Every structure is written in C-alpha cells, then in structure tokens.
C-alpha cells in the first residue's frame, strides 16, 4: 500500500515538478498517519511505500513504526540523515531507500540547485552506512550531459561493489511546474506537456536501463 506522511519539499532543485502543489513542506499529523497504517495492518498489509516527496528523519514516527513490525520503503536525500537516524530507520522496518543524488560533482549540483554541505565522498560513506542497516539502497542519478560517462561508470561500479545500486543516469525531463520548464518557456499552458515531451525527444538519443521504450505524444486537438 502507499502512505503519505508529508507533502512538499524544503529544497529547490530546478528539475523537480514541485511548484504550485507540492512546494511547501508540511507534515500530516502523526496520529492520522499511524491510524492509517494500523488500518492497513489490520487488513493484512505487510509493506507500505511512503510516497512523500522527501521522507525526513522523523524520530517519533520511526519509533512508532518500529513497534509495529511493518516493512516500508522511502525516497529521500542521503545527506540529510545522521548515522543514528539511519540505524533507527533500519530498526523501524525500512527495507528500501531510494536516495536522490542526481549528480556527482559540486559544479553540476550547483547547476541543478542541489545544495548540500556534504561532498560526494561523504555521501558515499552515508550510503554505505545506510546499506549496513537497510537491505536495499539505491542512489538515483540523472544525466545533464556535464559529467564524463567513464567517471560515472567508475563511480557506479564502486557503489555496486558495496552492494548499493546506482542507476544508469536518466535524462532530465523538463516537467511543467519545474524551474527548468519555466526557464525554457515560461509558465505552463495547455500544451505544456506536449512541448516538454517534444523537447525531450529532440535532445535524448538513447534510452537508459530504466526505460523500456520511447514515450509517445498524445494527440493534440480533435
């Protein structure tokens, strides 16, 4: 089942479609979240995925989850987790973490608005720490055409050797509602998705390992 403990994100990465609806970070009342989870448990649900844009280290919530024996997955930023919180995350029943790294060099992080006080090596250490507590840890990467494929491949191999999955970088899609879209075309209109898809197809020449086929544009007009 899917559960939402919060909505929005306190960060401002330029590729994220967070504007208009999911820009301001706010938490659902913990009692509401737990009541929802208890209802799912009573119906035989054994695993939930938190669809929060960014699952933060909420120690009271994690402590309550630990008492319930539930398995769950999250998506987050590895640089916002302290070692003791990663330990609690594992004890709480987390079995899957998708950590958005996006890029590997400070210059590209700055280009994407991905502000972080951690270096890439520090993030790797934190990912390894997460893997010691959680069965599956993934570092999500995107392709902006600014990082050497050989450098990225070597970095991925390093993580794979430590049991951490890092995907073949996926080209950034200029989602309507993202800062990247607005920089290109201004505010979205009724043809925003068609415009973004046409631009994506024009600039991308290969599918990543996470993509099975090219997406097709929807018919415009009647």
The predicted structure's pLDDT at residue 218: 61
Convert the pLDDT of each residue in 90-111 to its tens digit. 999 999 999 988 888 888 888 8
CA pair distance 83, 64, nearest whole angstrom: 19
Domain limits, the chain: 2-172
Q: Which residues contact 200 (CB under 8 A, 6 or more apart)?
A: 171, 173, 174
- With b for 16 or more beta-carbon neighbours within 10 A and e for fewer, the 188-218 pattern comes to beeebeebbbeebeeebeeeeeeeeeeeeee
The two tokens of residue 79 are 């640089």
The structural architecture, per CATH, of the domain 2-172 is Alpha-Beta Horseshoe (3.80)
Residue with tokens 């990247």: 180
Number of neighbouring beta carbons within 10 Å of residue 119: 11
pTM reported for the whole predicted model: 0.86
pLDDT at 146 exceeding the cut of 60: yes
Question: Which DSSP state fits 10?
Answer: S
Name the β-bridge partners of 94. Answer: 72
CA pair distance 130, 124, nearest whole angstrom: 10
Mean pLDDT of the chain: 89
Q: Are 13 and 112 in contact (CB under 8 A)?
A: yes
Q: Which residues contact 132 (CB under 8 A, 6 or more apart)?
A: none
Question: Which DSSP state fits 178?
Answer: S
Give residue 177's pLDDT band: very low, low, confident or very high (50, 70, 90). confident
């Amino acid at each position: 089942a899917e559960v939402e403990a919060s909505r929005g994100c306190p960060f401002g990465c330029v590729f994220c479609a967070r504007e208009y609806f999911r820009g301001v970070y706010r938490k659902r009342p913990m009692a509401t979240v737990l009541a929802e989870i208890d209802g799912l448990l009573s119906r035989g649900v054994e695993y939930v995925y938190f669809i929060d844009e960014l699952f933060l280290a909420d120690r009271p919530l994690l402590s309550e989850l630990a008492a319930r024996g539930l398995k769950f997955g999250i998506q987050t930023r590895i640089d916002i987790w302290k070692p003791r919180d990663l330990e609690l995350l594992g004890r709480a029943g987390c079995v899957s973490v998708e950590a958005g790294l996006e890029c590997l060099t400070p210059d590209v992080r700055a280009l994407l608005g991905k502000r972080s006080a951690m270096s890439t090596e520090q993030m790797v250490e934190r990912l390894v720490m997460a893997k010691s507590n959680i069965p599956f840890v993934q570092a999500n990467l995107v392709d902006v055409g600014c990082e050497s494929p050989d450098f990225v491949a070597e970095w991925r191999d390093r993580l794979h050797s430590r049991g951490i999955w890092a995907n073949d970088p996926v080209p950034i899609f200029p989602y309507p509602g993202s800062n990247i879209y607005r920089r290109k075309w201004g505010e979205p209109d009724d043809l925003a998705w068609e415009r973004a898809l046409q631009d994506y197809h024009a600039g991308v020449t290969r599918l990543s390992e996470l993509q099975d086929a090219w997406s097709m544009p929807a018919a415009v007009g009647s």
